[in-house]
Amino acid sequence: MPPENKTPLGRRLLFLLPVLAFVALAITFALGLGHDPTVLKSAMIDKPAPAFDLGPVMTDKPGLTRADLGGKPMLVNFFASWCAPCRVEHGTLNGIAASGIPLVGIAYKDKLENAQHFLGDLGDPYQKVGLDLDGRTAIDFGVYGVPETYIVDKEGRIRFRYAGSLTDDVMKTEILPRLAALEHP
Amino acid sequence: MIAELGHFALILALLVAIVQSTLPMIGAQRGARPMMDVAVPAALLQFGAVAVAFAALTHAYVTSDFSLKNVVENSHSLKPLLYKITGVWGNHEGSMLLWALILTLYGAAVAAFGRNLPPALKARVLSVHGMIGVGFLTFILFTSNPFLRVLPVPPDGQGLNPILQDPGLAFHPPFLYLGYVGFSMAFSFAVAALIEGRVDPAWARWVRPWTLVAWCALTLGICLGSWWAYYELGWGGWWAWDPVENASFMPWLSGTALLHSAIVVEKRDTLKGWTIFLALVTFSLSLLGTFLVRSGVLSSVHAFAVDPARGAFILGLLVIAIGGSLVLFALRAPHLRSTGTFAPISRESALVLNNLLLATAALTVFLGTLYPLFLDVIGGDKVSVGTPYYNATFVPLMVPLVLVMAAGPLMTWKRADLQGVLMRLRLAFGVALAVAVIMIIVTKGHEAVAPLGLGLAAWLLVGALTDVAQRIRLFQAPWQVVRNRVVHTTRAAWGMSTAHAGLAVTIAGITIASGWQQEAIQTLHPGDSVTLAGDLYRFERVEPRPGPNYAAEQATVTISHDGDPIATVHPARLTYPLQRMTTTDVAIHTDGLSDRYVVLGDPQPDGGWIFRIYYNPLVPWVWFGALIMVLGGVLSLSDRRLRIGAPVKRLKRAEAELAA
C-alpha cells in the first residue's frame, strides 16, 4: 500500500461520506423501531364521544344515539357491508356478543337493505345498530376507514381506537385488558 | 428427536462459523498457511450443518410435528404436501433459516470451486463470509429459533396464511434469497480486497461470476414475485412500488451497476474504489431489505413477521456489517490506485454514465421507500410515497440509460469514435423513430408515454442486434467468415446482447401494460355479459367447489370476440374457515401478447356477483423480457474466461504475494 500522506485529505474525506450517511440512516432506523406504523394517532382519545342520533338498521332493533353510550364501558364498531375486512372480523364480533361484552354497531355509508342482508347472513352481534348513511358520525369520531372499533368508558369518553379487523388475538392483547381496566379501575 | 438434531446442527454451524471467521483471517495476516486452510473445510461443514438443520425443519413440516411451535403456527395437517414444504419458509423463522442455508451454500461453493484463488485472498474472503454467517446464525438461534418445542402438544396447527398458499410462493423467496444473499459473496470479496489493500483485474474476474449468479437469481426472483402478485393478489397490477418490492429492486439496480463496473476493473484496471463501494452497497441494500421486511419499520402486505426485538437485532447486525465495511472503505479505498485512463468518449465513460444513472435510480427508490419513515421519525405526518413519485423520478433516469445502453457496446475502450458509433446506430435510430411516429399516429397524439417507451425499446433492441450483426460481420463478409465469427464470439458478448434485448422486451411490456390497461367493474347475474376491449365476457354460472382446507365458489365465464369463442375461464373465491379469510383465485387467459384477467368479487344480495375484469395488453412481455435478461446472464456466466479462471494472472499475483 502506498504511504498514507500521498493521498490528499479531500479524497479521504470524500470516502468518509458513505459512513456519515449510514450513521444518519442507522439513527433513523433506531428511532423508527419504536414506531408501530399501524398505530394511527386519534385526536379523539380521552374526549367525550360526539353527539349523534342514527336511525335503525334492523327492523326489530332501535337505532343508536349518543345517549346509548356510557353507563358502562362498551365497544363501538364501525362497519359496512361493502367492506371485506368487516366480513373477516365479523366472526370475532359474534364471539364478543356471545361473551356478553356490550357492543354497538354503526353501519358506515351503507345502504339500508345491504346492511340488513349483511347482518342477516353473518349474524347480528350488536345490541343496537345505527345507520350512518352520510358518514357524518364517522367523521366526528375520526374514523379513517372501516372497520374501526372504539372503546367508550362509563362517562361516554373515547378511550381507545383500533383500526382494522378485530381478531381473537387483538381482542386478547388490545381490547380485553383495556376493558377490564375501565371496569375495575 | 429429529428436531433436536436440527437444533444441534444449527448450534454446530454457529461454532464452525466462529472458527471460520477468525482462524483463516489471522492466518492470512500472519502468512500461516495451515490456519488459512481451515477456511475451506469450515465453509463446507458450516453448509452441511445448516443443511441438516433445514432438512430437520422440513421433516417436521412434512410429518406435521405439532410439538414444534413454528409448525403449529404455520402449518396444518390438512394442508397439501407442497404447501407443507413451502410453509417451511413461508414464515419468519423458516425464511431466516433458508437465508442462512443459501448464505452457507455460497460460502461452500467458493470453498469448493475457488481452487484458483490465491490462498490468502480465499482465506480472507471465506473469513469475512464466516462473519456474516455468525451474525445470522446468532440472530436465528437467539431471536428466531424454529426448533422451539411447545407443551402441551396441540392436536392440529393454525394453518398458513391462505394468500401464501400458492405455488408461486414455492419459488419466489428462494430465488429472491439466492439473489439477495448471493451479493454477500461480492461483499466478502470487497472487504477481503480492502483488508489486503489490493484490487486488480484478476480480483474483478473472480468476483464477477458470483455477482452474475446473484444477479440472475435476483432478476428471476423479482420476476417471479411480480408475476405472483399479478395472478394471486387479484388487483390486475404487476408492480406497486411496495416497500418490500423496492427492497428487492434496490440491490438489483446497484448489482446491475456492479456487474458493469467490474468489467471496467477487469479490462481496464480502473474504477476500483467505486466498484468496491458498489459491492458493499449492493449487499448492504440486501441486508436493508431484510431489515425492512423483518422489523416492521415499514408497513406492507409482506410484513408477515413484525417484531421490534428482532428489528433491533438486525439493526445491530446492519451497523456492524455496513458501518464496519464502510469505515474500512473510508480508511483503505482512498489509496487504491488506478492505472487505466480513458477519454470522455469511450466505453469506460459509457459505463461510468451507466453506473451514475443506475446508482441515482437506486438512490431515488431508496428515498421514496424511506421518506415516510424519515418523516414519521421527525414527528411529521403519515404519508405514503406512490407510483406518481416513481413515474416522475425513476422514468426520466431510465430514458438516458437506455439511450446510452445501445451505444455503449459499440464503443471501443479508451477512446471511441462517437460519429462512427452513431453512424452504425442509424438503423436503430430509424426504426425507433418509425415506431415512435406510428405510436403517435395510433394514439392520435394524445399520449407521450407509448411513443417514447416503444421508441426506446426499438432503439435498444435494434441497437443490440446491430452490435451482434457487426460482431459477426453479418451481411458484410462471406458466410464462412460469419460462421467463424459466430463461433468465436465470446459467450459474454452474446450474454450482454441477449440481456440488453431482454430489457427492450420488458420496456415494451411495461409501456403498453401500464398505459393501455382496460378495466371493467360490474355486478353480473348468471347469463349477463359485459364487453371490454372488444371482447364479450359472459357470466354463465357459479357453483361450489370443495377444497382440502377451504370452500370455494367457482364461476364459469366464457370469453368471445365477434362471436368466436376465445376461452372459458373459472375465477373463484376461496374461503378459509380456519383463518376466516377469503382470497380470490384469478382466472387469466393469456395468448402471449395480452392477458384477459377475470376476478370474482363479492356476491350481492340480489343474486348478482361483482366482477372485476381487466384487459392487460403486452403484460406477459414484462416477465418474458426479464427471463431473456436472465438467459443473457447465464450465457455470460458460461463464458470461458470465467469457467477456467485466469491462470496467467494467478501466477503474477502469486509472485506478487511472494514478493510482498
Domain residue extents for chain A: 4-33, 53-183
Q: How far apart are the first and last CA of chain B?
A: 53
pLDDT of A9 higher than 80: yes
Provide the edge-to-edge strand list for the sheet that holds A74-79.
A64-65, A53-56, A128-132, A103-108, A74-79, A148-152, A158-163
Under an 8 A CB cutoff, do A15 and B605 touch?
Answer: no
pLDDT of B202 higher than 60: yes
In total, chain B counts a number of residues equal to 660
Q: Looking at the complex, does the CB of residue B379 fall below 8 Å from at least one CB of chain A?
A: no
pLDDT of A2 higher than 80: no
| Cα gap B87→B21, rounded to integer Å | 32
pLDDT of B587 higher than 50: yes
Mean pLDDT of B217-229: 91
Q: Check residues B22 and B225 and name the one with the higher pLDDT.
A: B22
Provide the edge-to-edge strand list for the sheet that holds B587-590.
B518-524, B609-617, B594-603, B587-590
pLDDT tens per residue across span A42-66:
677 888 899 999 999 988 888 899 9
| Close Cβ partners of B283 (under 8 Å, ≥ 6 residues apart) | B183, B184, B186, B187, B251, B321
Smallest Cβ–Cβ distance between A32 and the set B327, B332, B376 belongs to B376
pLDDT of B449 higher than 90: no
> In which band, very low, low, confident or very high, does the pLDDT at B126 lie, cut at 50, 70 and 90?
very high
User: Considering only A4-18, A89-103, A104-118, B440-454, which range has the smallest mean pLDDT?
Assistant: A4-18
Predicted pLDDT of residue B648: 44
pLDDT of B625 higher than 90: yes
Pair B297, B373: CB distance under 8 Å = yes
Q: Choose from A33, A41, A83, A113 for mutation: most chain B CBs within 10 A.
A: A33
Q: Check residues A11 and B297 and name the one with the higher pLDDT.
A: A11
Predicted pLDDT of residue B483: 87
pLDDT of A21 higher than 60: yes
Mean pLDDT of B504-511: 95
Q: How far apart are the first and last CA of chain A?
A: 71
> In which band, very low, low, confident or very high, does the pLDDT at A112 lie, cut at 50, 70 and 90?
confident
Predicted pLDDT of residue A139: 85
Predicted pLDDT of residue B382: 64
Mean pLDDT of B426-455: 91
Under an 8 A CB cutoff, do B326 and A91 touch?
Answer: no
Amino acid at B646: A
Predicted pLDDT of residue A8: 80
Instruction: Determine phi and psi for B615, rounding to 5 degrees.
Output: -110, 115
Distance from CA of A145 to the nearest CA of B (A): 15
Predicted pLDDT of residue B308: 63
pLDDT tens per residue across span A122-139:
889 999 999 998 888 888
Predicted pLDDT of residue A128: 92
Predicted pLDDT of residue B641: 67
Give residues 545 to 584 of B whose Cβ lies within 8 Å of A: 580-582
Predicted pLDDT of residue B259: 94
Under an 8 A CB cutoff, do A32 and B377 touch?
Answer: yes
pLDDT of B359 higher than 50: yes
> In which band, very low, low, confident or very high, does the pLDDT at B463 lie, cut at 50, 70 and 90?
very high
Distance from CA of A184 to the nearest CA of B (A): 31
Global pTM?
A: 0.81
Distance from CA of A179 to the nearest CA of B (A): 25
Predicted pLDDT of residue A163: 82
Under an 8 A CB cutoff, do A91 and B580 touch?
Answer: yes
Predicted pLDDT of residue B300: 42
Under an 8 A CB cutoff, do A19 and B326 touch?
Answer: yes
Predicted pLDDT of residue A41: 61
Smallest Cβ–Cβ distance between B334 and the set A12, A25, A31 belongs to A12
Which letter, b or e, does each residue of B342-351 get, where b requires 16 or more Cβ atoms within 10 Å of its Cβ?
Answer: beebbbbbbb
pLDDT of B4 higher than 90: yes
| Cα gap B444→A184, rounded to integer Å | 72
Take residue B92 and report the three cell numbers written for it: 419468519
pLDDT of B499 higher than 90: yes
Q: Looking at the complex, does the CB of residue B321 fall below 8 Å from at least one CB of chain A?
A: no
- Helix (DSSP H) and strand (DSSP E) numbers for chain A: 6, 7
Strands A74-79 and A103-108: parallel
Under an 8 A CB cutoff, do B308 and A88 touch?
Answer: no
Cα diameter, chain A: 90
Smallest Cβ–Cβ distance between B334 and the set A15, A32, A33 belongs to A15
Take residue B326 and report the three cell numbers written for it: 464502510
Q: Looking at the complex, does the CB of residue B309 fall below 8 Å from at least one CB of chain A?
A: no
Q: Looking at the complex, does the CB of residue A173 fall below 8 Å from at least one CB of chain B?
A: no
Q: Residues of chain B with pLDDT > 90: what percent?
A: 52
Mean pLDDT of B459-483: 89
**Which residues on chain B are in Cβ contact (under 8 Å) with A83?**
none
Domain residue extents for chain B: 1-160, 518-617
Q: Check residues B342 and B40 and name the one with the higher pLDDT.
A: B40
pLDDT of B559 higher than 80: yes
pLDDT tens per residue across span B319-336:
999 999 999 999 998 888
> In which band, very low, low, confident or very high, does the pLDDT at B188 lie, cut at 50, 70 and 90?
very high
pLDDT of B647 higher than 50: no
pLDDT of B649 higher than 80: no
Mean pLDDT of B607-632: 93
User: Considering only A100-109, B297-306, B334-343, B600-609, which range has the smallest mean pLDDT?
Assistant: B297-306
Q: Is B386 helix (H, G, I), strand (E, B) or coil?
A: coil
Superfamily per CATH, domain A53-183:
Glutaredoxin (3.40.30.10)
Q: Check residues A77 and B241 and name the one with the higher pLDDT.
A: A77
pLDDT of A36 higher than 90: no
Predicted pLDDT of residue A134: 85
Mean pLDDT of A3-15: 73
Locate the chain A residue with the closest alpha carbon to B193. Answer: A1
Mean pLDDT of A8-21: 87
Predicted pLDDT of residue B16: 97
Amino acid at B410: L
| Cα gap A51→A137, rounded to integer Å | 8
Predicted pLDDT of residue B341: 83
- Mean residue pLDDT of chain B comes to 87
User: Considering only A31-40, B391-400, B487-496, which range has the smallest mean pLDDT?
Assistant: A31-40
Smallest Cβ–Cβ distance between B311 and the set A18, A33, A38 belongs to A33
Predicted pLDDT of residue B583: 78
3-state helix, strand, coil in chain B (%, to 5): 65, 10, 25
pLDDT of B134 higher than 50: yes
pLDDT of A75 higher than 90: yes
Mean pLDDT of B167-182: 83
Mean pLDDT of B648-659: 49
| Cα gap A103→A91, rounded to integer Å | 14
Predicted pLDDT of residue B164: 65
- Residue A141's alpha-carbon distances to A68, A89, A160, B54, B653, in angstroms, are 15, 20, 11, 50, 73
Q: Which of B281, B315, B19, B326 is nearest to B139 (CA)?
A: B315
Could you report the predicted ipTM of this complex, rounded to two decimals? 0.80
Number of C-alpha atoms within 13 angstroms, CB side, residue A69? 27
